[in-house]
Structure 1
Amino acid sequence: MSGLEKKIGKRIAELRIENNLTQAQLAEAMGLSVESISRMERGVTFPSVKTLARVAEALGSSLKQFFDFDEDEGQGDGYQLELAKLIAQIKNLDEGEVALLRKILREIEKWKDGR
């Protein structure tokens, strides 16, 4: 399994989570098995271009958008996935919770600046 397979797999998982989909839901939308989705996300199998196009479409993305991901190798392996999980959680917050989160983030920024 190459680095590219892992990157593609992480991107599939990232977009799936951003869209609040489970592996089962994505698999059903694509007519694939959950195991197929899992294997792609883990980089065990490398999907064909046709399958990648179907994945992107099922996730509401174009192929161009699908491949528009950060190549920053300085981040940890799970960094992008963790960001995607946070974004998915934030999407489920109500207005008041988002306002509270903004305040918390501002306080973190102040703390970092004052270290």
Structure 2
Amino acid sequence: MSTDNPTPLSRSIGKAIANRRAIANLTQEQVAERLGIGQEAISRMERGVAIPTVARLAELADVYKCNLDQLLTEASDREDDQAKAILTIVGRLSNADRLLLIEWLKVFANRLLPSPTST
């Protein structure tokens, strides 16, 4: 499916596809070759201009050696899906790096919270 004006969802899916490709350390050309399609098709999916079918997403998941749901949860704006995506990212870190990230996240999240107003 193609769209002249990428939607937030198509851009999110494209970003997740590009992210998984980077994690797999593959180029767009390598992915295109494995799928038997042109490199421009991969580029269009990653930019959110073309929305891949479920079958194509499954093929991409196979190439990237991840679960299909990982591609979809990374593109979701649902809180529980975002938590799963964060878990996947954190899970690749060493214990020391996870602890460092958790401390940084606490500080950062506290800075983003609205300050209480005094009445």
TM-score bucket of the superposed structures, by smaller chain? 0.5 to 0.7
Give the ranges of 4+ consecutive aligned residues of structure 1 lying more than 3 Å apart after TM superposition: none
Identify the match of residue 66 of structure 1 among 65, 68, 71. 71
RMSD: 3.1
Unpaired runs of 5+ in structure 2?
A: 1-5, 79-88, 90-96, 108-119
Give me the TM-score of the superposition, normalised by structure 1.
Answer: 0.60
Q: Which has the higher contact order (CA 8 A, sep 6+)?
A: 1
* Counterpart Cα distance in 2 of 1:65 and 1:49: 13
Aligned residues: percent identity?
42
* Counterpart Cα distance in 2 of 1:65 and 1:42: 18
* Counterpart Cα distance in 1 of 2:53 and 2:60: 10
Give me the TM-score of the superposition, normalised by structure 2.
Answer: 0.59
Letter in 2 for 1:71: D
Instruction: Tell me the matched-pair count.
Output: 87
Unpaired runs of 5+ in structure 1?
A: 73-83, 85-101
